[in-house]
Amino acid sequence: MAKKTYRSMDDFAAACGVSRPTLSKYFDDPTQIKEVTRKRIEAALKKSNFEPNLFARHLNRKRTKNIGILVPTMSDPFYVQVVSLIELELRAKGFWPVQISSHTRPELEEEAVRTLLSLKVAGAIVAPLGAGSRRSALARLTDAIPVVCFDSPSAFDLPFVGNDNAQSVAAIVQYLCRSGEPPVFLDVPHMMANTNERTESYRATMRREGHEPLVIECESSPSWEFERLGYEQMQRMFARGGLPGKTLLCANDRFAFGAMAAAFASGLKIGRAEGCDIRIAGHDDHPLSRYTCPSLTTMAQNAPEIAAKAVELLLKSVEDEEADRKVAPSRVILEATLVMRESA
């Protein structure tokens, strides 16, 4: 069925059966109008070729100097670190950051988008929730304001800044192979696109190095409590008779913390020194990874550059928006650095 086309906001308002001011209000801030009216407008939008973004953008031209930052959770220090850097960078450039977390819940990500729109932010930097994201939530945001993604790319064709997981996992796998027994990969549940990239890079690198890859999938149900997942997975392996190898590469540092705690509780000595029983490595260079016992060998994402590039791309989009220029979305992929410590 061909979608209906409307010439103007008035035409479309009439078709929705709402007044023109109500329709304006909807594009300006969907939370200001009654839910029943909102639903009517949204149903009409689906059946039409009407381009709300064009109108929304004009309506919203008078925006604030506020920039929204939306992440899945602030309980993960990687997000905290990047968000802090983004905030400081924005403030240095005369913008005011406003941070909202979706608490890893799709319905709260959708609410967070509504809140950001009601605050009339000039743009947003978003780490999408991944598999759980509701497409409609991010669509509403990108229709209204410039958006840049970081950490995990979105289903939309948006500017993106992230870690080069192929490079970073290859670097640590090569290091572990060079310095001892090739690693077994302890994976996390795949909730985001970047976890796939890490697992694939592990497999490819092991084969290139002439070793058979061995990926241990996490059997706990998906969760963002990675320390607990790592602890439980190790306990399961111990219960089944022991570990599958003497070198474990964990998909992230938080999972490695849990794995280390479980190994320690089982009486194993962790480290690369003489007389140790097991090597454990992580990925991300969590702020606490230098203070674990022993300190954790890991890959440091280039957080300062991720933050700087995300802000740069966003402010460029905001300017282009103001100048009515359309630019192709950029993609910035940054290499990580091996941090050799005592654990592996």
Residue whose pair of structure tokens reads 């990926």 in the numeric block? 215
Q: Determine the Cα–Cα distance for residues 257 and 263; give it in Å rounded to an integer.
A: 10
Q: 175-194 mask for its own copies (x: CB under 8 A)?
A: --------------------
Backbone angles phi, psi at 249, to 5 degrees: -105, 120
Shortest Cβ 253–its own copies spacing (Å): 11
By CB under 8 A, tell whether 74 contacts its own copies.
yes
Q: 198-227 mask for its own copies (x: CB under 8 A)?
A: -----------------------------x
Q: 12-51 mask for its own copies (x: CB under 8 A)?
A: -------------------x--------------------
Q: Determine the Cα–Cα distance for residues 109 and 102; give it in Å rounded to an integer.
A: 4
Closest CA to 250 of 200, 287, 199, 295: 199
Q: What's the CA dihedral at 146, 72, 75, 259 to 10 degrees?
A: -130
Pick one of 155, 293, 327, 333: the residue that binds its own copies (CB under 8 A). Answer: 293
Nearer to its own copies, 201 or 298 (CB): 298
By CB under 8 A, tell whether 273 contacts its own copies.
no
Q: Determine the Cα–Cα distance for residues 25 and 93; give it in Å rounded to an integer.
A: 30
With 0-12 / 13-18 / 19 or more C-beta atoms within 10 angstroms meaning exposed / middle / buried, residue 3 is exposed
Shortest Cβ 104–its own copies spacing (Å): 10
What are 4's two structure tokens?
């209906």
Q: Which residues bind its own copies (CB under 8 A)?
A: 31, 64-66, 73-75, 77, 80-81, 83-84, 87-88, 91, 96-101, 103, 108, 111, 114-115, 118-119, 227, 231, 257-258, 260-261, 264, 270, 287-288, 290-295
